[in-house]
């Protein structure tokens, strides 16, 4: 049986993000001290949403005290994540992209529906998978 990854109280952002990514990729449970707030909470809930329903986890992670969290195995596909806090989008892209890459399927992609070809990675897609605009890189 795999051990638990213990983060302690108020880990550094890089440690927290790395632990979320590692737990998502390996299935190792996380033990941390709540409540999580702002971008930390948004990132943890986003990781849960990749494999299931994030709302029960939001309540658990917002509570005071010791929390043990086992992230569900992520599903490939389109995921709608709420990341309203400053820096949360960048943290989510950095933290969640490599566990999704381990699934062997693209995690951030869209296709031109008329030709069924994949569009370049710099293309921004709408929620329906259609090309919205080309991103400036």
Specify whether 81 is located in the same domain as 97: yes
pTM: 0.71
Specify whether 67 is located in the same domain as 132: no
Backbone angles phi, psi at 131, to 5 degrees: -65, 130
Q: Which two tokens stand for residue 12?
A: 């550094």
Domain span at residue 51 reads: 5-104
Specify whether 57 is located in the same domain as 69: yes
Residue 21: the pLDDT is 92
Question: Residue 30 pLDDT > 90, yes or no?
Answer: yes
> Domains in the chain: how many in total?
2
Specify whether 72 is located in the same domain as 13: yes
Question: Residue 18 pLDDT > 90, yes or no?
Answer: yes
Q: Percentage of the chain with pLDDT > 70?
A: 74
Specify whether 84 is located in the same domain as 69: yes
How high is the mean pLDDT of the chain? 79
- Could you read off the pLDDT of 88-131 as tens digits, one per residue? 999 998 998 888 877 765 444 444 455 545 555 545 555 555 55
């Amino acid at each position: 049986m795999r051990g638990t990854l213990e983060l302690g109280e108020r880990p550094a952002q890089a440690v927290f993000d790395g632990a979320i990514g590692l737990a998502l990729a390996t299935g190792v449970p996380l033990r941390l001290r709540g409540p999580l707030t702002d971008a930390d909470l948004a990132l943890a809930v986003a990781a849960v949403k990749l494999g299931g329903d994030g709302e029960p986890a939001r309540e658990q992670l917002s509570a005071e005290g010791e929390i043990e969290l086992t992230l569900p195995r992520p599903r490939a596909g389109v995921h709608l994540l709420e990341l309203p806090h400053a820096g949360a989008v960048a943290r989510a892209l950095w933290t969640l992209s490599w566990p999704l890459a381990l699934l062997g399927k693209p995690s951030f992609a869209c296709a031109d529906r008329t030709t069924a070809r994949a569009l370049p990675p710099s293309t921004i897609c709408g929620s329906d998978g259609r090309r919205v605009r080309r991103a400036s890189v």
